[in-house]
Amino acid sequence: MSTQTKDVSMDDIISLCKRRGFVYPGSEIYGGEAGLYDYGPYGVELLNNIKKSWWQANVHRKENYVGLDSAMFKHPKVWEASGHVGGFSDPLAECRNCNHRIRVDKELGAIGVAADEKMSEAELNSLFDEHRQEIKCSNCGEKDFGQVKAFNLLVKSNLGDFTDKGERPVYLPGEACQGIYLNYKNIVDTTRVKVPFGVAQIGKAFRNEISPRNFLFRTRELEQADTQYFVKPNENKEPYEAIKQDRWNWYLSLGIREENLRFKQHDNLVFYASDAWDVEYNFPSYGFDEIEGIHDRTDYDLTQHMKFSGVDLNYVDPYTKEKYIPWILETSMGMGRCFLAVMSDAYTVEELEGGETRTVLKLHEDLAPVKYAVFPLLKNKPELVEKARKVYEELSRKFVCEWDDNGNIGKRYRRQDEIGTPYCVVIDFDTLEDDTVTIRHRDTTQQERIKIADLLR
Ligand code: ATP
């Protein structure tokens, strides 16, 4: 087969996600809800496979890492200690013409003016004033904005009767990692871990993003896969480099092409951080952007929680009796962004000889939502259907399989190509004689004849 690969755009990927049941717009029958998406039947399989790979790499294959699943709701003081109540905000300005709000830091960045995260509202206002005439409202095109105001990203909720009394607002998690800090002491007290050790968790987070955009890239409900590695103070440099390398290798293990990944160091560090890097992926249409943050956070998180809770969070070395607050090295990956990177990397349109095209998701076998598609050659031959059913049932005990007896074989192959199924198995009249099947390989479209027993290995 001679093929040529065509360029793809993010719109192509969004369209395939919808058409083939990977991702649907949230609350679609009500006209949709900005920044929310639902994973469909194939999407949830792919998402779960990514999570499984991440969990194996970060918990099961690492002797000194353990897993956690903490409650989403937390004591309201957690978000004060973490700094989210006071400082988790985006600077916004409202268009006087249409009331659309823009992210001032992003708009300034787009015209080459760097807005520092640490800038006060007054400083941002004066910087914005200098460049007002260069910034247009992305909704109506006017250049008439009000003052810049900090807009808190935490999503408030009500739990118990706290909010009724107006005393203790509860928040949905702004980031998933706080549960790890809250349970650090429990884990040290109840398991065999000793510093240095890591805790891993996949958890939901909610952010009142003012302009959710770019499909799964910036959503209001998201999932983060986090690891927090607890080390002795000042013993952070070497493990930090090892963690960066380990994360890089994990992306490669998913089959993501190395040329589509890069590291980017943060220019402006928050005051407590000693180093911070992002892993970026080269998204179609959007270009390189962050999928994961790797942060060297010193003792900030545990010190804050010790201060706000009044509980001693010092670690006592069991051998030397040395007492200290561990420093933390964090990795935080957005599941949705990773899903989008995996889809983007796998999405391929091939121009075949004769002008035809084939869309194929070249997903790593471990990530593919369906491993085997089983086809009886003809659906009106009961003996073929019966034999194919048997093959399907046997394979289903071990692998995720799909049954398809609809339409001609070529069309069935194309459908499986679009959802990334690595193997299609055809049961024909020879199968009835010798228990062999035709197996067709997704990426090469090559077919071979093999024994049914060999499929199960
Ligand atoms: P950004 O600068 O893009 O807003 P961030 O630096 O605030 O991201 P972190 O708080 O470090 O992100 O969160 C860790 C990871 O969580 C990010 O690398 C990203 O993959 C993911 N993430 C953060 N915000 C969102 C969002 N609104 N939608 C989807 N994923 C997100």
Tens digit of each residue's pLDDT (9 = 90 or more) over 321-340 = 999 999 999 999 999 999 99
> Which residue's CA is minimally distant from atom 2 of ligand 1?
290
Q: What atom of ligand 1 comes closest to residue 219's alpha carbon? A: 28
Spatial distance between the Cα atoms of 246 and 345, rounded to a whole number of angstroms:
20
Q: Three-state SS string across 144-197, please?
A: CEEEEEEEECCCEECCCCCCCCCCCCEECCCCCCHHHHHHHHHHHHHCCCCCCE
Residue 84: CB within 6 Å of ligand 1?
no
- Which residue, by CA, sits nearest to atom 4 of ligand 1? 218
State mean pLDDT over 372-399.
97
Q: What is the pLDDT of residue 1?
A: 56
422 cis-preceded (ω within 30 degrees of 0):
no
The protein residue with its alpha carbon nearest to ligand 1, atom 27, reads 218
pLDDT band at 201 (very low <50, low <70, confident <90, very high): very high
For 202-226, write each residue's pLDDT tens digit.
Answer: 999 999 987 788 999 999 999 999 9
In Å, how far are 24, 214, 336, 340 from 20, measured between CA atoms?
10, 19, 17, 15
Spatial separation of the C-alpha atoms in residues 363 and 254, rounded to whole Å:
8
**Residue whose CA is closest, atom 7 of ligand 1?**
293
> From the CA of 269, how far away is ligand 1's center (Å)?
16
Ligand 1 atom closest to 289 (CA): 3
| Atom 25 (ligand 1) nearest CA | 218
Ligand 1 in contact with 40 (CB < 6 A)?
no
C-alpha of residue 20 to centroid of ligand 1, in Å = 27
Q: Specify the pLDDT at position 2.
A: 52
Strand partners, 283: 287
Q: Mind listing the pLDDT tens digit for each residue in 9-52?
A: 999 999 999 999 999 999 999 999 999 999 999 999 999 999 99
| Residue of 210, 290, 292 best suited for mutating to test ligand 1, as the one with most atoms within 8 Å of CB | 290
**Residue 417 pLDDT > 70:** yes
If pLDDT is split at 50, 70 and 90, which confidence band does 161 have? low
Taking the centre of ligand 1 as the mean of its atom positions, its distance from the CA of residue 335, in whole angstroms, is 10
- Binding site membership of 218 for ligand 1 (Cβ less than 6 Å): yes
Does residue 226's CB lie within 6 angstroms of at least one atom of ligand 1? Answer: no
Burial of 382: CB neighbours in 10 Å, binned 0-12, 13-18, 19+? exposed
Confidence grade of residue 320 (pLDDT, cut at 50, 70, 90): very high
Residue with the nearest Cα to atom 31 of ligand 1? 334
CA–centroid distance, 93 to ligand 1, in Å, is 21
CA 216 to ligand 1: nearest atom: 29
pLDDT band at 171 (very low <50, low <70, confident <90, very high): very high
Query: For position 166, what pLDDT does the model report?
Result: 58
| Domains of the chain, first to last | 33-78+156-343 (3.30.930.10), 89-152 (3.30.40.230), 370-455 (3.40.50.800)
